[in-house]
Amino acid sequence: MQPQTSKAQEALIQRNTHRYVQNVLHTIALFLVCFQEDSPQLHHQHTSPRERRAIRDNIYKNKRCRMETCFDFSRCQSGFRVYIYPPQRGDEISETYQKILTSIEGSRFHTTDPSKACLFVLAVDTLDRDQLSAQYVQNVRSRIQSLPTWGDGRNHLIFNLYSGTWPDYTEDLGFEVGQAMLAKASADVVNFRPNFDISIPLFSKDHPLKGGGIGYLTLNDVPPSRKYLLVFKGKRYLTGIGSETRNALYHIHNGDDIILLTTCKHGKDWEKHKDSRCDRDNEEYSKFDYQELLHNSSFCLVPRGRRLGSFRFLEALQAACIPVILSNGWELPFSEVIDWRKAAIIGDERLLLQVPSITRSVGRDRILALRQQTQFLWDAYFSSVAKIVLTTLEVIQDRVDSLVSRNRLLWNSLPGGLYAFPQYSTDPAQFPFYYAVLGKSPTQQFTAVIHTVTPLQSQISPVVKLIIGVAKSKFCAQIVVLWNCDKPLPPRNKWPSTSVPLTVIEGQTKTMSSRFFPHDVIVTDAVLSLDEDSVLSTNEVDFAFIVWQSFPERIVGYPARSHYWDGSRSRWGYTSKWTNDYSMVLTGAAFYHRYYHYLFTHHVPPSLLTTVDRMANCEDILMNFLVSAVTKQPPIKVTQKKQYKETMMSQGSKASRWADPDHFAQRQTCMNAFSHWLGFMPLVHSQMRLDPVLFRDQVSILRKKYRDIERL
């Protein structure tokens, strides 16, 4: 005898059956989309698979190219240098391609000497290879093959954003790339040559050269509440390739928390091909503002367009809207080094109906982590043309010198691969940014580096007093004096005797920027940078070092300055006035990590270093710009030391920068030159000052650890 089914069980069976039938119907509907009247398969005679293979084989004759087989490493023995061919008569370069060339010219890799070049970049604009485009350049094949060092493309890099044309949009470039590397948007995994070509994002002609817009993640809260779950707003293609997925989006649009809007109203002949849904779609499309959707949704759908890539990808990254990618076969941008699983949901076009359940299943903590990673990746690699180009070049450099290359941690963690140079170290534990991630701590001692520009007159000179005071610190490992004075180096018996090693290095160039040169003698993580006329007690040195150990990626010190926007002159201003905030800590008395010496020397453009040396000024401001650009954080000021500036100005030395009447005006100029270099203002204001516990408290001086500080 069969057991009777309860009413609850019957209801459950009914609901499950109903849900199953719905899923089947949705799947059938999605399948039928590909065969409805408007389907491009019926309207257009596409090229056959054989014809598509012939096109691919013609363009990619060197399909099996890898760095080992199609790249001449012997060209790179003098370093990784990039040469841009001079433009030929009649060359028309688009604004976007000019941005790419300008980015290379402003990089540390650029050379004007082809004999020193490891990599060659064309002056011929190859970005838009759509024959119907106004930007299409004719006769590229003959122009390229006439280049003296073309050599079938070996050691050449070709940039491309658009390939092929309507209706199939194949990857036909109109010329043979040979053994050249392709930095290509919308790269198809079928044609992509792994660890040889580079997939770059599709970006618009309005994408900024430098700087770029900031990300829009303003709250790191859990749960990260947003109004919508999943959104999309874009074109629906009625004909040609790329129409299938977008034509099916209405199946999962619910008008509530999933808003997927498409419009047929684009192109000249859209009304000829309109289907029964076009009018309704167009009406719904106009009801929603795209930016409002973008900034108020947890997930953003990024379906393929005519090509595999889409502008929606970068738009979603900037908006901290987690990309849900539906573009089968797309080699994601910089996938060789970027772990996209930490920032995006990679779906399958054939499983569109599963997207709602997939996005709803993502936990709130993971949503926050994914959104945070979108902001990091946007800012590190995608917010400007310069960053996209530099990332491309850095990836190639890592391949050229594979023994000295970044690992995945450096590429996928703050501050990113563009600020973590493997030539300094391939071990993440040697960088100040990764101590917390790796559970490491900086070394427990520091090296004092004293910049000296005036003669050593006697044992009562300020620099002698400074050396004696710093040497008494229990954390001091050694003292290095940089002798940048025009007078001869004093004999060793003229220097004070100290309990720690004292090394005097005579500058070869005696320039201002040389104070931040990464000398091999500096082996501790912490550097205490000092001007020769700084006045610091041993207590002040010890306390500042203890603070720095908690913030090893930042500048920690005493003399603070600030910046402001001068609206009347439309420029940045510099002030030394005592205010309630600051954005710089001068390196005349400050701790920072020794890696910043390497970064300052090798990352800052030579033109800026030349400017600093010519004025003999602003090197401390430039170091603050660099560190804040890397960390996105302000420096840290420790206990107030009001007499710092007054003490230095009272030294009365003719060589003192503080006595120069042009000193302040030059610093104003520097502020704007440095922000122009970066394309944005990196300095961040802070109102935090760290004092010792019991500082100025009404308790016995015997109970205080840093007693001398209060007497200053």
Q: How far is CA 343 from the centre of its chain?
A: 15
Closest alpha carbon to 600 in 614, 587, 585, 582? 587
Phi-psi region of 679 (alpha: psi -120 to 50; beta: other; left: phi over 0): left
Neighbour tally for 346: CB within 10 Å: 15
Average pLDDT over residues 402-427: 94
Phi-psi region of 505 (alpha: psi -120 to 50; beta: other; left: phi over 0): beta
Burial 676-702, CB ≥16 within 10 A → b, else e: ebbbbbbbeebeeebbbebeeeeeeee
Contact 432, 525 (CB under 8 A): yes
DSSP 25-39: HHHHHHHHHTTSTT-
**SS3 (DSSP) at 584:** strand
Average pLDDT over residues 323-332: 95
pLDDT digit string (tens) for 613-630? 999 999 999 999 999 999
* Amino acid in position 109: F
Taking CB atoms within 8 Å and a gap of at least 24, the contacts of 696-702 are none
Does the pTM surpass 0.85? The reply is: yes
- Between 166-180, 202-216, 317-331, the lowest mean confidence (pLDDT) is in 166-180
CA torsion 39-41-47-48 (nearest 10°) is: 150
State the DSSP code for 333. T
Give the span between the Cα atoms of 512 and 514, in whole angstroms: 5
**Positive/negative CA dihedral, 604, 607, 613, 617:** negative
Q: Which domains does the chain have, with CATH numbers?
A: 54-184 (no CATH), 228-385 (3.40.50.2000), 446-690 (3.90.550.10)
**Positive/negative CA dihedral, 514, 517, 523, 525:** positive
Taking CB atoms within 8 Å and a gap of at least 24, the contacts of 263-272 are 263/234, 263/235, 263/236, 264/236, 264/238, 266/235, 270/238
pLDDT digit string (tens) for 61-97? 678 899 999 999 999 998 999 999 999 877 889 999 9
Q: Looking at mean pLDDT, say which of 127-136, 304-313, 327-336 comes out highest.
A: 327-336
* Amino acid in position 218: T
Give the span between the Cα atoms of 99 and 201, in whole angstroms: 15
Q: How far is CA 582 from the centre of its chain?
A: 25
- As given in the structure block, the two tokens for residue 222 are 């859990």
pLDDT digit string (tens) for 554-604? 999 999 999 999 999 999 999 998 889 999 999 999 999 999 999 999 999
Closest alpha carbon to 390 in 79, 109, 95? 109
Q: Do β-strands 636-638 and 689-690 pair in parallel, antiparallel, or remain unpaired?
A: parallel
Confidence of residue 708 (pLDDT cuts 50, 70, 90): confident
- At residue 38, does pLDDT exceed 60? no
